[in-house]
Structure 1
Amino acid sequence: MKVDVNDIEGLRLLRIDSVLALLPIARSSWYRGIQDGRYPKPVKISSRSSAWRSSDIKELIEQLGNEN
């Protein structure tokens, strides 16, 4: 299988602190937004750890920017 170098950035995973550094919201609001379906669901990376695809966060930021 051949992987395009440009697709590698979309495979990067961001932990919660990195996500919240990009989005000016509280941790509780972030998790509430996930439950409501406003924000992307995390990917489980272990039994006690989750992360988000950087491509999903980038897409969310673009959507939020287009709303204003």
Structure 2
Amino acid sequence: MKDTTFPKIGFVRLSQILGPTGPIPVSRSLFLQKVRDKEWPQPVRISARVTCWRAQDILDLVDRLPGEITSRSMTDSAPRPCLADGSCPSGSPPNRYRLVSKIERGEV
């Protein structure tokens, strides 16, 4: 089984930041657009073909984002839909697609 804990120090690759196990549940293209727009942390070039982000920068970003995005656990559990009023029954994580739409509209 893959290790799903997010490091507190060091460097992380994009695959550790996004996706079902990362702390930021948005698409790759949206994440990179926010980076290009300088709204989210800038990457560090480790070599010509390796790009990373500082783990602390990503954790700071997670703290800045609204609780609805960061309430997703960093486990392998699949997201379950929330109610129309935005509440999530029995502590289930929010619906990823609704969160992405909020980010795209600039509400986050």
TM range (shorter): 0.7 to 0.9
Q: Which has the higher strand share?
A: 1
For the residues of structure 2 that align with 1:10 and 1:17, how far apart are their CA atoms?
A: 16
Q: Which has the higher helix share?
A: 1
Match of 2:11 in 1: 13
Runs of 4 or more consecutive aligned structure 1 residues displaced over 4 Å after TM superposition: none
TM-score, normalised relative to structure 2: 0.50
Q: Is the 8 A contact 1:33 1:39 kept in 2?
A: yes
Higher relative CO (CA 8 A, sep ≥ 6), structure 1 or 2? 1
Is the radius of gyration larger for structure 1 or structure 2? 2
CA RMSD of aligned residues (A): 2.1
Q: Could you tell me the percent identity over the aligned residues?
A: 31
Match of 1:34 in 2: 35
For the residues of structure 2 that align with 1:60 and 1:51, how far apart are their CA atoms?
A: 15
TM-score, normalised relative to structure 1: 0.77
The gaps in structure 2 that reach 5 residues or longer are 1-6, 68-107
For the residues of structure 2 that align with 1:42 and 1:35, how far apart are their CA atoms?
A: 10
